[in-house]
Amino acid sequence: MTIPLQVDFPGVIATLSSEVLVLCSQQPLRMLSSAVVGGGFQRARYIVNRHVRKDYCHPHPAVDLQAFARSQGIAEAFVGLMTAVSMQKTRAITLYDAALTLTVVVTAGLSNPAAPGYSPPVAALPGTINLILLLDAHLASAAMVNAVMTATEVKAQVLLEHDVRTPDGYAATGTSTDAVVVACTERGEVLPYAGPVTTVGWLIGRGVRTALAAALA
């Protein structure tokens, strides 16, 4: 069953069902991610966010996700994420500023909140916050890392504002399996920075804050 999701980003088509969110770009996007499949720097047209059961425990999740993508007709490079959150809870927002366009797509689950340095290592569980940032812009490699930092800082702040706590009572800044994708069209002038006082960083802050708050509501 297809679930309605409005993603107003140039050249990208979003398909959402109870099983998966697929973002398909007409042109390859330059991406930086911590994804299960396609992590690091990558060029690809597809971003896949697959729903799995809360008790999901495959010994090789990347292999499993690659097989799933093939079952969806994706036979080329992709960046792939997993989440136990119902895909009906996917939230998206698009913001504009002059020549910049940003779309943030979020799925957010809080079944395993964590505080780095306080929460002990545990087996990965799919109660995950997945952030996908689509930027109609040309970010330098360092700026893409900067964008990940900005998005992560905002995510932590939103969780603090919602008083999300670990099982031990510490303020949670995320979950133990969070993932982020920054995808750029590489159009326009090269942007060297994406911190909070840049225009692109300000857009990322607003977009992540609004979309994540909506996903947690």
The residue ranges of every structural domain in the chain are 12-216
* Residue closest to 130 by CA, chosen among 167, 89, 94, 101: 89
What is the rounded average pLDDT of the residues 178-182? 96
pLDDT recorded at residue 4: 77
**In terms of DSSP bridges, do strands 91-97 and 129-135 run parallel, antiparallel, or are they unpaired?**
unpaired
- pLDDT at position 125 over 90: no
Token output for 158: 């939103």
CATH of domain 12-216: 3.60.70
Residue 124 has pLDDT above 80, yes or no: no
Predicted local confidence at residue 165, as pLDDT: 93
121 pLDDT exceeds 80? no
**How confident is the model at residue 126, as a pLDDT?**
55
pLDDT at 1: 65
Instruction: Indicate the pTM of the whole model.
Output: 0.95
Mean pLDDT of the 66-84 span: 96
